[in-house]
Amino acid sequence: AIATVSGNFRLTGEGASSDIRHIVLDFGQAAFPVLEGQTIGILPPGADAQGRPHHPRLYSVASPREGERPRYNNVALTVKRVTEDHEGRPVAGVASNFLCDLAKGATVNVIGPFGTSFLMPNHPGSNLLMICTGTGSAPMRAMTERRRRRIALKEGGELMLFFGARAPEELPYFGPLMKLPRDFIDINLAFSRVPGQPKQYVQDLIRARGDDVFRLLAGEHCFVYVCGLKGMEEGVTEA
């Protein structure tokens, strides 16, 4: 499908080391149904050094199924501008730079949606345990927003979030997240690089909140979602 950019907003603070953006894509008249937890593929224009078209890159949808705004035929993505690899060597970041530089009204070639396993349970009373770092928060935002829009239905089900970032200004959606009612979502933020504070990872907070995590896990209807840095998987599993 061809989507049109209807918004591109920076999420990270002025002093932040990363440029993370909230990008809204509108599908106009085209049918492009997605579910929370699915990904879509972005086809960057142009070709690589060998003249071959760029590979599509997958991004998690950050908005709920009925759209970033209800009844709009759109999806939101959370995109971090990639400029270097984990060792600090410069890399092209073809798709992320293409997306982060998009102006309102620009068009994007999209394929998908993809994903059949990272989906929300149909049972609305089920509990969701969400563990993420950085832009891994995109699917968690989609699921949380899905539940928030249905709050009045009183379907039940607890939400517990563990979210890791270097500092508050690096944490996408920090403002809106902190405005959510405490009885709607149990939020646990782990910051690793706040001066004067001990380094914290999500797995440290999972341990600290062990009793409540255990209570959720022991329940019949608990679903666990982990998204973000590959490296956290081991620590989270151990915790």
CB count in 10 Å sphere of residue 229: 17
Which CB sits closer to ligand A2P, 10 or 54? Answer: 10
Q: How far is the CB of 135 from ligand A2P (least distance, A)?
A: 7
The angle formed by the CA atoms of residues 228, 202 and 138, to the nearest 5 degrees, is: 35
Determine, following the binding rule CB under 6 A, whether residue 164 of this chain makes contact with ligand A2P: yes
Q: Which is nearer to ligand A2P, 16 or 76 (CB)?
A: 16
Applying CB under 6 A, does 235 fall inside the site for ligand A2P? yes
Identified binder of ligand A2P from the candidate list 193, 197, 210, 214, rule CB under 6 A: 193
**Binding ligand A2P by CB under 6 A: which of 125, 176, 210, 231?**
231
57 forms part of the interface with ligand A2P (CB under 6 A)? no
Residue (25 or 213) nearer to ligand A2P, CB: 213
Binding residue (CB under 6 A) for ligand A2P from 192, 194, 221, 224: 192
Query: Quick one: 159 or 171, whose CB is closer to ligand A2P?
Result: 171
Tell whether residue 106 is a contact of ligand A2P (CB under 6 A): no
Q: Which of 5, 23, 159, 232 binds ligand A2P (CB under 6 A)?
A: 232
